[in-house]
Amino acid sequence: MELYLSLLRRNRNFRNLWFARVVSNLGDWFNLLASATLIATLSGAGTAISFLFLARFLPLFLMSPFAGVLADRFERRNLLIWTDVLRALTVLGFLFVDRPERIWLLYVLTALQFVFSAVFSPAEQAYIPAIVEQEDLVTANALDSFTWSTMLAIGALLGGLATAFLGVQTAFILDALSFLLSAWFVTRIAVRSRGRVQEAGQVTTPRTALLEIFEGMRYLWAQPVLLAFALIKSGGSLVWGGVNVLEVPLAEQAFPLNGNGTLSLGLIYAAVGIGTGFGPLIVRRWLGDSWGGILKAVSIGYLAMTVGTLGLALAPSLGWVLGATMMRGIGTGAIWVFSAVLLQILIPDRLRGRVFAFEFAAFTLAQSFSTLWAGYAYDNLGWSLSQVLFSAALGSVVMTAAWIGFYLRVRHRPRFASA
């Protein structure tokens, strides 16, 4: 851990960005749990909860291409600040949802909040290389993954406690304050990304935005290796998206504790957090930061994801489930971290926002497909939980084989990857 603490100590700009992520991720969990509790209280319908997740998902997919244009055209530091401020104002609007006939307002505000989040995510990913030296990129991304995993555990716990003991209104206020605090930390970052500030006088119209989106797509289409790197997360999400859905019946029906699946599900989420948090740190320590090491780390990620998913399909006990889940988490964490590093190293700054936005949109679409397939297979095909998990494991085998074949072609650093 000394390597990661050293980066935080000596890089003030990254330290402030990291603090912003910590408080923002913490607030996200407050928001999700408070929103779910409010909908359950006012409606009680299962479909109402489904609409909440739909309102969080659709804006991310639909807005991502345009968010990439914004991240490349405008100064990224300012984008991060303003999206945080706008999210804070949006979340305060949740306070007006106080009776059943106003649930529609919560869905609208949730969609608006995630429109701003769709801008924040690619801008942040594209901004990291501006404040971190190339030799520290793996460290920074591994720390980012560890932070998300830690907030998964801590944020869910604190969000649940705040909602249960202080009420949903207080949880929404705390979420809004977390976004404002995140914006304050970003204002303390001294480095301004280049972006395309020199074109700030140009007017961004829907037509120019579409042209710039197509420019990013043409760039990736002309560089098949880079396109494949941008699809690494999508390959993984075709597997873990469905597994995320199946974790609920796995906990509640297959391996409940004392007749209740809530504790089992909490333990499964904790295992996910441990795997995704510590996995990239361990893999990085083992393989280092070289070009070959990064590609091997992605390979290990796919292999670990496959082994973990197969383990879930064969699990005879909750302990086995937790071990397999941790192994899968190690795999997904490695895929997430090292694919981001590859793009940050290889993509030129002027296109980085659009490429990360494309990656995020493709990942979201793949995860949605996987989620729908798992739910449909489990509910309508008459398959057992184990059979649906086996189908996910088979998909993971296919994705892993495809990556290994590609890895054998690019394991020697490509000529274009001179960065």
Tens of pLDDT along 345-382?
888 877 877 788 788 888 888 887 887 788 778 878 88
Residue 414 DSSP symbol: P
pLDDT digits (tens, 9 = 90+) for 185-231: 999 998 766 555 444 445 455 555 566 666 767 788 888 888 999 99
Residues 228-275 have pLDDT tens digits of 999 999 999 888 888 877 887 787 778 887 776 656 776 887 788 788
Neighbours of 419 (CB within 10 A): 10
Query: What is the predicted pLDDT for the residue at 184?
Result: 96
Q: How many CB atoms lie within 10 A of CB 290?
A: 11
Yes or no: say if 277 and 150 are a contact pair by the CB < 8 Å rule: yes
Q: What is the per-residue pLDDT for 310?
A: 95
pTM score, two decimals? 0.74
pLDDT tens column, 144-162: 777 877 776 677 667 767 7
Tokens representing 366 are 């793949």
Burial 209-230 (b: 16+ CB within 10 A, else e): beebbeebeebbeebebbbbbb
> Three-state DSSP class for 260?
strand
Question: Which ranges of 136-289 would DSSP assign to H, the alpha helix?
Answer: 137-166, 168-187, 206-222, 224-230, 232-249, 261-287
d(CA 148, CA 393): 25
Mean pLDDT, rounded, for 333-340:
91
> Within the chain, how many helices (H) and strands (E) appear?
15, 0
* Mean pLDDT of the 309-338 span: 92
What is the reported pLDDT for 419? 40
Give the bridge partners for 257, in sequence order. Answer: 260
Write down the pLDDT at residue 247: 80
Write down the pLDDT at residue 416: 47
Q: Count Cα neighbours of 71 within 13 Å in the Cβ-side half-sphere.
A: 34
State the architecture of 1-186 in CATH terms: Up-down Bundle (1.20)
Question: What's the rounded Cα separation, in Å, for the pair 176 and 27?
Answer: 7
Give the pLDDT score at 206: 52
Contact 364, 236 (CB under 8 A): no
Domains 1-186 and 206-410 share a fold: yes
Instruction: Look up the CATH architecture of domain 206-410.
Output: Up-down Bundle (1.20)
List, for residues 386-405, the tens digit of each pLDDT value: 998 999 999 999 999 999 99
Structure tokens given for 19:
């603090």
pLDDT digit string, tens, across residues 91-148: 999 999 888 888 889 989 999 998 898 888 888 888 888 888 888 888 888 887 778 7
36-56 per-position pLDDT tens digit: 778 767 875 545 665 776 777
Rounded percentage of the chain residues whose pLDDT exceeds 70: 87
C-alpha dist (Å) from residue 207 to 56, 203, 278: 27, 10, 44
223, 276, 277, 404 from 152: Cα distances, Å? 36, 10, 10, 31
Segment among 255-264, 292-301, 337-346 with least mean pLDDT: 255-264
Domain boundaries, the chain: 1-186, 206-410
User: How high does pLDDT run on average in the chain?
Assistant: 82
Task: Return all residues near 57 (Cβ < 8 A) that are at least 6 apart.
Answer: 114, 364, 368
The reported pLDDT for the residue numbered 182 is 94
